Amino acid sequence: MPDPEQPRASYASAGVDIDAGERAVAALRPHAEKASRPEVLGGIGGFAGLFAAKWGKYVEPVLAASTDGVGTKVAIAQAMDKHDTIGQDLVAMVVDDLVVCGAEPLFLQDYIAVGKLVPEQVATIVGGIADGCQQAGCALLGGETAEHPGMMEDGGYDISATGVGIVDAEKMLRPERVRPGDVLVAMASSGLHSNGYSLARHVLLDIARLPLDGHVEEFEHSLGEELLVPTRIYAKDCLAIAAETGVRTFSHITGGGLARNVERILPDGLAAVIDRGSWTPFPVFKLIASRGRVDRAEMEKTFNMGIGMVAVIPPDDVDRALAILTARHVTSWVLGEVHRAPDVEGADAAVPGSRVVLRGEHPRF
């Protein structure tokens, strides 16, 4: 028999506050409403997000989908108690995978798991997601916030999202389109983006014991601010190139670094040669390498090293692609070239067995 003196159990006493959830929805609603498209039906609060399928301009529409998170970058946001940009990181990781095949991002749905729901914190995170969706031109079509007491600490959270895009089958960008002689055009990253943070945190915080609020002369701001620089969103930039050039495909430089991600968009029999001398990685990469005594091969397979997206462009379209990116305020340059695999020899610090060869040295790195 239960003890009559025992307090009555409730969901709140177990650590889940339904009322806080309602307050969170009310607080994030204005953010979600500003990240919309004409195809969106209804608003936040339904059981499903509704998107009217208007495929009139597509001959053979193909849907593309991508799911991702931001890894342990959330640990920096939590340590800094700064949550307004982590949402842009999330959007970037999803939509910039979609545009690799030429797909226009249509909508995104987020998932936020928290140890204890703080409505203001969740609203701030969603505000960043909405800002990112606006930059990408897609709608924030709802999502889910779940309170996980006992599994996560109070103040702790993790985020992920799924995005859906659309591309016409006849215009889909694929590795099969790549040809010998095509040119690799690099688009600069904004920093670490959202990859390699477990190594970055281990080196800078555990080994070097640098304070997140400490000023770093090379950055002209604090270490924490540098580590929270939001990931650049390239979706509209890539779509602009696709609309005006014969771009073959794109490579989103995320986990695995430059060599592994470029190889993913090379058809059998072709290889790519990349010139390290064409760019200088940002100071944050040099700081990690020097403070952790991280060798070059490890750096290059972990971090983007200053390149967030690579376009594979036919030679005759290179100048036009660079002009488009310059007009859109994207730092870009010729990174390398595609060759027949048997013509490429002397791999220098590329991933063993890779068909992507990195040659030369980074200036001043």
HEC assignment per residue over the chain: CCCCCCCCCCCCCCCCCHHHHHHHHHHHHHHHHHCCCCCEECCCCCCCCEECCCCCCCCCEEEEEEEEECCCHHHHHHHHCCCCCHHHHHHHHHHHHHHHHCCEEEEEEEEEEECCCCHHHHHHHHHHHHHHHHHHCCEEEEEEEEECECCECCCCEEEEEEEEEEEEHHHCCCHHHCCCCCEEEEEECCCCCCCCHHHHHHHHHHHCCCCCCCEECCCCEEHHHHHCCCCCCCHHHHHHHHHHCCCCEEEECCCCHHHHHHHCCCCCCEEEEEEHHHCCCCHHHHHHHHHHCCCHHHHHHHCCCCEEEEEEECHHHHHHHHHHHHHCCCCEEEEEEEEEHHHCCCCCCCCCCCCEEEECCCCCC
pLDDT of 20 higher than 60: no
Give Cβ neighbours of residue 167 (< 8 Å, ≥ 6 apart). Answer: 61, 62, 64, 101, 102, 103, 104, 173
Q: Return the bridge partners of 312, or none.
A: 184, 249
**pLDDT recorded at residue 35:** 74
Share of the chain above pLDDT 70, in %: 87
**pLDDT recorded at residue 142:** 85
Of 131 and 46, the one with more pLDDT: 131
pLDDT of 339 higher than 50: yes
Q: How far apart are CA 96 and CA 326, in angstroms?
A: 19
Among the listed ranges 40-49, 107-116, 190-199, 202-211, which one has the minimum average pLDDT value? 40-49
Highest-pLDDT range among 5-14, 36-45, 48-57, 120-129: 120-129
pLDDT band at 349 (very low <50, low <70, confident <90, very high): very low
pLDDT band at 19 (very low <50, low <70, confident <90, very high): low
**pLDDT recorded at residue 54:** 80
Model-level pTM? 0.89
What the block records as the tokens of 165 is: 């895009």
Average pLDDT in the chain: 89
Please state whether 137 falls in left (phi above 0), alpha (psi between -120 and 50) or beta. left
Cα–Cα–Cα angle for 264, 267, 270, rounded to 5 degrees: 105
**pLDDT recorded at residue 351:** 54
**pLDDT recorded at residue 8:** 57
- Burial class from Cβ neighbours inside 10 Å (0-12, 13-18, 19+) for residue 254 reads buried
Tens of pLDDT, residue by residue over 252-308, are: 999 899 999 999 999 999 999 999 999 999 999 999 999 999 999 999 999 999 999
Ordered structural domains, the chain, with CATH = 18-171 (3.30.1330.10), 175-359 (3.90.650.10)
Tens of pLDDT, residue by residue over 103-119, are: 999 999 999 999 988 88
